[in-house]
Amino acid sequence: MAEPLQQLVLTTLDVQGSIPDTRTLVLPGQTLPAASNDDQIAILGALNSLLSREMITYETREVISHVLTPEGAQIANEGSHEARVWSVLPEKGKGTPVSPVQLKKFVGDETAKVGQGRAFKNGWIGKDGDGLVKLVAEISDATKNDMQEIASTGTLKTGEKILADLRKRKLIVQRKIQWFTVNKGSNFSTSTVKPETDLTVDMLTSGTWKTSTFKKYNFEAEGIPTNGGALHPLLKVREEIRDIFLEMGFAEMPTSSFVESGFWCFDALFVPQQHPAREMQDTFYLSDPQRALPPQPEYYKKVSTVHEHGGFGSTGYRAPWSHEESSKLLLRTHTTASSAHMLYKLAAKCRGEVIEGDEQELTHGAKDTTNLDGKGDDGFRPAKLFSIDRVFRNEAMDATHLAEFHQVEGVVADRGLTLADLIGFMRVFFKKMGIENVRFKPAYNPYTEPSLEIFAFHPMLNKWVEVGNSGMFRPEMLEPMGFPKDVHVHGWGLSLERPTMIRYGINNIRTLVGHKVSIDHIENSAAVMF
């Protein structure tokens, strides 16, 4: 279509000198002038192509036009409702008056209802006994005439008032029609030979470059969007949070082990073996292999003893210990399993073990400046650790829950830490994330005492929402690892998804994670700064 259309424009310009109104063009293969918007859009394509070669110039014009609705079209063909009512009635004294029931049969319910009223008002019909009759022998059906005029010209000579009335009666609708005025351009010619886009060796050697027309550079062209990779919003927010931890002096924990044992995910954290979170409906267990390798025997013994019989000032759970429960392999339900591994490692020197290399990595070389009890070096080094990685829970999926998500977790180990330290840390941490308004609520975790839930005021939802969970790790967890009594460890965790959803205004997790994620959305989500 494109080429013949361009040819048509050029030939018409050649013959007429100009095209004042492109709606008068009869497009190739058609018999009527190009009155529709679609036709004009096709013409616009041809005009732009000719314009880029400066063969023409054009101006865009716009008119508001009207088209008939299906009801309007029926009136244009069959007359107005009132005229149809009038036409089926006998003249007064010349036949049997038509009863209202009969009238409905003749013209249909709708026309009988609307038409009667108007015909009465116009003085066209009247009552004769119980029936209806014509009062005049001839009528002029103005509505029908108006509709016919609009159908052919798009408007009414009589003016806007009647048009407005017809629009209100839903007989016509407004439509914007675009059309163009076309004139010859500086390179006008009737030939649509495509201009050259490249200067080739052949042209240079043969000399044809001298006579060729070249396509102009279009410096306004937008160019093809580049096909680079784009970071998923979760990764962007992960990066931001990682930066916050790093600038606060935290070291990142290795968290690549998605599979953990019941021992590390729960027992080491003093989560009772009967805890509901450990049940099948909450935790994914592995079927092959089912069992983990045994942990270090001495530590294992200490953990099982503190559960079963107590110790370190605790009465324990005093429930029988199940080795089977402890050795089950599972998908970790929280990254606190990794924190437990790391804390165990951090306490190695306190247990009198020699560790190579790891200490520096865990502690950033921090000095134990608070060991003032005069008993000498007990091997403890303070540490601030964090992780951001994936966890798994056997959850019913809905708009805000998936069976896997990411946890952000921070752990601080030092002598004499208090709850005030934890709260202070939380305030700084969340402030750096842009959350200034935080509140703490007492909560319960099997592995922390006291425990605090963290709430932040959500200005969009206009309410306090839970943003994290935290607490001071229990002695039943820390002391079997070998930490000295005065070493306290506090920790907190939050999901990565929640702040990301808030940040990007996403309210369904499935538009953030999974097969329904729109790549456009990923590519176009700007990086955010807390």
Closest CB to ligand PHE among residues 146, 389? 389
- The CA distances from residue 350 to 66, 307, 344, 382, in Å, are 88, 22, 10, 12
Among the listed residues 278, 275, 277, the one whose alpha carbon sits nearest the alpha carbon of residue 319 = 275
Find out whether 269 and 446 touch, Cβ atoms under 8 Å: yes
Q: Does 283 bind ligand PHE (CB under 6 A)?
A: no
Binding-site string for ligand PHE from residue 312 to residue 341, where x marks contact by CB under 6 A and - marks none: ----------------------x-x-----
Q: Does 122 bind ligand PHE (CB under 6 A)?
A: no
- The CA distances from residue 401 to 248, 302, 493, in Å, are 30, 37, 17
Find out whether 251 and 363 touch, Cβ atoms under 8 Å: yes
CB of 316 to ligand PHE, least distance (A): 21
Percent of residues in the chain assigned helix, strand, coil, to nearest 5:
35, 20, 40
Question: Interface with ligand PHE by CB under 6 A: which range of 56-64, 418-426, 491-499, 504-512?
Answer: 491-499
Among the listed residues 177, 155, 176, the one whose alpha carbon sits nearest the alpha carbon of residue 166 = 155
Closest CB to ligand PHE among residues 52, 257? 257
How many H-runs (helices) and E-runs (strands) does the chain carry?
19, 14
CB of 230 to ligand PHE, least distance (A): 30
Q: Does 261 bind ligand PHE (CB under 6 A)?
A: no
CB of 253 to ligand PHE, least distance (A): 12
CB of 505 to ligand PHE, least distance (A): 25
CB of 268 to ligand PHE, least distance (A): 13
Q: Does 448 bind ligand PHE (CB under 6 A)?
A: yes
Contacts of 409 (CB under 8 A, 6+ apart): 334, 335, 336, 338, 339, 386, 387, 388, 491, 492, 493
Q: Does 525 bind ligand PHE (CB under 6 A)?
A: no
Burial of 232 (0-12, 13-18, 19+ CB in 10 A): middle
Closest CB to ligand PHE among residues 380, 473? 473
CB of 407 to ligand PHE, least distance (A): 6
CB of 430 to ligand PHE, least distance (A): 15
Contacts of 378 (CB under 8 A, 6+ apart): 350, 371, 484
| Residues in region 471-490 near ligand PHE by CB under 6 A | 471
Among the listed residues 139, 162, 136, the one whose alpha carbon sits nearest the alpha carbon of residue 149 = 162
Q: Does 492 bind ligand PHE (CB under 6 A)?
A: yes
Query: Which one of residues 261, 327, 363, 470 is an interface residue with ligand PHE (CB under 6 A)?
Result: 470
Find out whether 458 and 502 touch, Cβ atoms under 8 Å: yes
Closest CB to ligand PHE among residues 115, 491? 491
| Residues in region 390-429 near ligand PHE by CB under 6 A | 409
Q: Does 493 bind ligand PHE (CB under 6 A)?
A: yes
End-to-end alpha-carbon separation of the chain, Å? Answer: 53
CB of 469 to ligand PHE, least distance (A): 4
| Residues in region 199-258 near ligand PHE by CB under 6 A | none
Query: Which one of residues 445, 475, 500, 513 is an interface residue with ligand PHE (CB under 6 A)?
Result: 445
Other Cβ atoms closer than 10 A to 400: 14
Task: Using DSSP, state whether 293 is helix, strand or coil.
Answer: coil
Which residues are near ligand PHE by CB under 6 A?
334, 336, 409, 445, 448, 469-471, 491-493
